[in-house]
């Protein structure tokens, strides 16, 4: 089986945690890697953002990333990417012709890629599987008051994909409900495939490893540490954590608390300074350390250095950060939104908070920081919980979805229907 994956707006090889690179990058790279190891040939098409990338990157056997030139390498905002859909699609078609490629199936990620996949589906007469990762209607329903709404144009494009893709893959049953409620999707065309965690990389550390991680990060060894890992944007909620920490320290100024915020700005108007300024305005800048995004093998140290990982997002399709944290043995406090109630076993591997009220988050953080026995027990249980989610299992599920999609009849140019290859 040869699969064309499409991830137009961000390359799976980019560093997650800043710009447009995040959980989707982790998802695409890991599912593709494990599909390739199971014998599926995977080509991932993405938009070239610098000439040094080269046209083709051989990641490993059966897996390569193909960089398509569409618009300028740099300086093109995500909001302007729809202007390059035709150029990107044309680049994929040309590459396929020049290399005599024949794909059995297309799997698109995010709505921009889905629009390209929809075109290629009819051109190549190959079924289209689409994963939205996030949805405009859902983001608008859950966004914070200060966050910019998603455009109606995006919502319309997503509706087209729901109506035309052969199968839709989602992370949780909650996402299925979102598609049905907001986009009138047919539940029979939606398949749940749970994401995973790299349980071989994200492993618990012993006391010595934790001490080493804290020394490397400049964190006091005996402080209680709360960490946030992700893109710095309102939707991910770093401001919620900063305000909750300020509230906690206002209650108890002598509390030995430190906060790590690891990530880069994301979005047209996002800057790291706005979060630095917020911490400064609230008088907690000395308690918070901002870290640049880092590759997974270095991110392990941040997870291990923390007593708690906070995930105060306004919505998450699943919550990969929460799963990676638990895999390292660190309990999670997360918002009760999206797929996070599935990623976090409430009361067993962490706590879930209703809403984003500052007092509620301060209470939850204090509750877990002050109860050492419960926190340690949750960390131990978290490892087993995370072990039940693996990328290998996700890839196996996806391969089954692909086989199902290949049996679906696809209309040809005369309106006749024939099954996929």
Q: What is the CATH number of the domain that holds 303?
A: 3.40.50.2000
pLDDT at 19: 67
212 and 103 in a common domain: no
Residue 202: inside a domain: no
Domain span holding position 241: 207-387
82-100 in b/e burial notation, b at 16+ Cβ within 10 A? bebbeebbebbbebbeeee
**44 and 156 belong to one structural domain:** yes
Q: Is 15 annotated as a binding residue?
A: yes
pLDDT, tens digit, 9 for 90 and up, residues 250-296? 999 999 999 999 998 876 666 778 999 999 999 999 999 999 999 88
Determine, yes or no, domain membership for 47: yes
Is 22 known to sit in a ligand binding site? yes
Is 316 annotated as a binding-site member?
A: yes
Residue 294 annotated as lining a ligand binding site = yes
Segment holding 85, helix H or strand E = helix 85-98
Same-domain check for residues 41 and 174: yes
Q: 219 and 122 in one domain?
A: no
61 is in an annotated binding site: no
Same-domain check for residues 127 and 236: no
Q: Which two tokens stand for residue 277?
A: 């300024």
Q: Is the pLDDT of residue 416 over 50?
A: no
Residues 173 and 291 in one domain: no
Please indicate, yes or no, whether residues 248 and 397 belong to a single structural domain of this protein.
no
Confidence of residue 411 (pLDDT cuts 50, 70, 90): low
Do 92 and 165 share a domain, yes or no?
Answer: yes
pLDDT tens per residue across span 209-231: 899 999 999 999 999 999 999 98
Q: Does the pLDDT of residue 95 top 90, yes or no? A: yes
* Count of domains forming the chain: 2
* 21 carries a ligand binding annotation: yes
In a shared domain, residues 338 and 376: yes
The pLDDT value recorded for residue 145 is 75
CA distance 320 to 311: 10
- The answer on whether 134 is annotated among ligand-binding residues is yes
Mean pLDDT of the region 382-393: 92
| 154 assigned binding-site residue | yes
Instruction: Check whether 231 is labelled as a binding-site residue.
Output: yes
330 is in an annotated binding site: yes
User: C-alpha angle with apex 116: 111 to 122, nearest 5 degrees?
Assistant: 125
Pairing of strands 417-419, 409-411: antiparallel
CA distance 234 to 232: 7
Q: Please indicate, yes or no, if residue 201 is contained in any of the structural domains.
A: no
217 and 346: one domain?
yes
The response to whether 9 counts as a known ligand-binding position is yes
Confirm whether residue 304 is marked as ligand binding. yes
Residue 378 falls inside a structural domain: yes
pLDDT tens profile 9-23 = 999 998 776 667 778
């Amino acid at each position: 089986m040869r699969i064309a994956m499409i991830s137009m707006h961000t390359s799976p090889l980019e560093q997650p945690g800043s710009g447009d690179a995040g959980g989707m990058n982790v998802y695409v790279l890991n599912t593709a890697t494990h599909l390739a190891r199971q014998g599926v040939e995977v080509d991932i098409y993405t938009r070239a953002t610098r000439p040094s990338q080269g046209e083709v990157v051989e990641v490993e056997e059966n897996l390569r990333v193909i960089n398509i030139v569409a618009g300028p390498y740099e300086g093109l905002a995500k909001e302007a990417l729809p202007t390059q859909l035709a150029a990107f699609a044309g680049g994929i078609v040309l590459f396929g012709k020049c290399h005599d490629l024949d794909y059995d199936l297309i799997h698109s990620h995010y709505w921009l890629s889905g629009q390209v996949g929809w075109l290629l589906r009819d051109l190549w007469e190959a079924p289209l599987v689409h994963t939205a990762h996030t949805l405009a209607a859902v983001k608008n329903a859950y966004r914070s008051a200060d966050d910019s709404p998603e455009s109606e144009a995006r919502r319309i494009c997503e509706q087209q994909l729901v109506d035309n893709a052969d199968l839709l893959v989602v992370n949780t049953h909650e996402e299925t409900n979102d598609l049905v409620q907001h986009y009138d999707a047919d539940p029979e065309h939606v398949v749940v495939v749970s994401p995973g965690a790299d349980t071989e990389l994200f492993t618990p550390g012993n006391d010595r490893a934790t001490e080493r991680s804290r020394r490397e990060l400049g964190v006091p060894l005996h402080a209680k540490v709360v960490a946030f890992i992700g893109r710095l944007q309102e939707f991910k909620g770093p401001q919620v954590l900063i305000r909750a920490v300020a509230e906690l320290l206002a209650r108890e100024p002598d509390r030995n608390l430190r906060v790590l915020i690891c990530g880069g700005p994301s979005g047209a108007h996002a800057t790291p300074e706005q979060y630095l300024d917020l911490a400064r305005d609230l008088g907690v800048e000395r308690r918070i350390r901002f870290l640049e995004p880092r590759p997974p093998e270095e991110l392990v140290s941040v997870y291990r250095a923390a007593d708690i990982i906070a995930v105060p997002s306004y919505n998450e399709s699943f919550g990969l950060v929460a799963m990676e944290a638990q895999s390292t043995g660190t309990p999670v406090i997360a918002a009760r939104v999206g797929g996070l109630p599935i990623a976090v076993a409430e009361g067993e591997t962490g706590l879930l908070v209703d809403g984003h009220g500052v007092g509620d988050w301060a209470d939850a953080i204090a509750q877990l920081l002050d109860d050492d026995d419960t926190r340690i027990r949750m960390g131990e249980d978290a490892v087993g919980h995370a072990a039940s989610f693996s990328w290998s299992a996700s890839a196996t599920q996806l391969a089954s979805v692909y086989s199902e999609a290949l049996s679906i009849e696809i209309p040809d140019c005369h309106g006749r229907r024939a099954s996929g290859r």
